[in-house]
């Protein structure tokens, strides 16, 4: 009897701990506000690195219904209606048609991958409108309020991008890919292994063409007092030791192959690039430092985690005459663009 009780307790503890552990290092499609223009589209506690064998992804967008969680309530809507609200929330309607198409395919792929398993964050819904969990989403009334007089023309642009790519998604090894994206990169995108500690064959570092001339606020500096900088770091790392010389506080930066900060010694303690970004609200981990006698300036380039498709990179490619197929091929190398026969 004691043995049975012990086994039961172990099984209960495993059931409680496993969902928490599964949430560690899971990716987000993007990690900046939706109007910036990309919103977090996280994978929830289940993660999306592993997808069990499942039936083929849906065909025509109007023929498939998904359950969307919005403000605590579920709605059953078509894939088409979901994508219109999501693309409109994730990318400016003013972007080039081919960039909007690339975004529509990325979001459709992300949704199809979600449909293959239940997310523990909202088991009652396939996907949610919470930008901190899945993808940003607005209904037509909210879009009217957002766009005002431009509503009709903007809706037409977004709808065209969704409808002209009806049912099209990206696949790798016969499964919808993890189509994450971000706002802008500093010359190259980031390898997934640098952000989530797991390699993904199609989420590798590639060139991205956007520049300061094409991206608003491409380079942004955050300056804090030396005292605030020290206190912020010590709150997270009490063991850090700061000398009288501010210039000596920050040493030995280590960067990834894409040029983003992997880690840096601050007060003799190793601080990761992602942690530093979180501590000081930086736009990216492509960051440099400048210390004076009484302040520290951190300058970041680009916006977002840097993995997958750069939205402003997609826009730059579209302006150069590239089609959405070429854009997706650049940012998700080795993947296959699946065009269901039902969408022909």
Residue-wise pLDDT for 297-336, tens only, equals: 999 999 999 999 999 999 999 999 999 999 999 999 999 9
Run means of pLDDT, 10 residues per run, the chain, 344 residues: 45 40 42 40 42 61 95 96 98 98 98 89 94 92 97 98 97 95 97 95 98 96 98 98 96 96 98 97 97 97 97 98 98 95 54
- 78 forms beta bridges with 65
| Sheet of 175-176, strands arranged across | 175-176, 169-172, 336-338
- 300 forms beta bridges with 220, 287
pLDDT reported for residue 56: 55
Report the C-alpha gap between 137 and 317 in whole angstroms. 25
1 Cβ contact partners less than 8 Å away, ≥ 6 residues apart: none
Q: What is the pTM for the complete model shown?
A: 0.85
176 Cβ contact partners less than 8 Å away, ≥ 6 residues apart: 51, 57, 109, 110, 112, 113, 116, 169, 170
Residue whose structure tokens are 């991958």: 113
pLDDT reported for residue 118: 79
Phi-psi region of 145 (alpha: psi -120 to 50; beta: other; left: phi over 0): alpha
pLDDT reported for residue 50: 53
């Amino acid at each position: 009897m004691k043995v049975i009780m012990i086994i039961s307790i172990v099984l209960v503890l495993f059931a409680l701990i496993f969902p928490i552990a599964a949430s560690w290092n899971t990716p987000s499609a993007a990690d900046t506000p939706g109007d910036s223009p990309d919103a977090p589209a996280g994978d929830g506690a289940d993660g999306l690195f592993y997808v069990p064998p499942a039936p083929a992804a849906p065909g025509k967008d109007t023929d498939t219904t998904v359950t969307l969680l919005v403000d605590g309530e579920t709605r059953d809507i078509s894939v088409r209606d979901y994508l219109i609200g999501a693309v409109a929330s994730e990318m400016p309607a003013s972007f080039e048609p081919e960039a909007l198409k690339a975004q529509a395919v990325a979001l459709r792929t992300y949704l199809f991958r979600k449909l293959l398993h239940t997310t523990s964050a909202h088991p009652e819904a396939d996907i949610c409108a919470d930008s901190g969990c899945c993808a940003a989403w607005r209904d037509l009334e909210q879009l009217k309020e957002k766009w005002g007089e431009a509503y009709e023309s903007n809706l037409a642009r977004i709808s065209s991008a969704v409808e002209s790519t009806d049912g099209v998604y990206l696949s790798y090894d016969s499964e919808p890919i993890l189509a994450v994206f971000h706002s802008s990169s500093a010359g190259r995108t980031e390898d997934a292994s640098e952000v989530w500690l797991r390699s993904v064959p199609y989420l590798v570092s590639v060139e991205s063409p956007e520049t300061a001339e094409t991206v608003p606020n491409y380079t942004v500096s955050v300056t804090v007092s030396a005292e605030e900088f020290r206190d912020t770091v010590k709150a997270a790392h009490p063991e850090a030791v700061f000398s009288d010389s501010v210039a000596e506080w920050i040493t030995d930066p280590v960067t990834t192959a894409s040029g983003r900060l992997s880690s840096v010694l601050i007060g003799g303690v190793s601080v990761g690039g992602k942690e530093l970004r979180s501590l000081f609200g930086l736009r990216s981990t492509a960051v440099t430092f400048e210390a004076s006698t009484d302040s520290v300036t951190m300058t970041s380039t680009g916006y977002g985690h840097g993995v997958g498709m750069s939205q402003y990179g997609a826009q730059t490619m579209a302006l150069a005459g590239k089609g959405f197929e070429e854009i997706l091929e650049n940012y998700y190398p080795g993947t296959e663009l699946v065009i269901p026969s039902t969408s022909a």
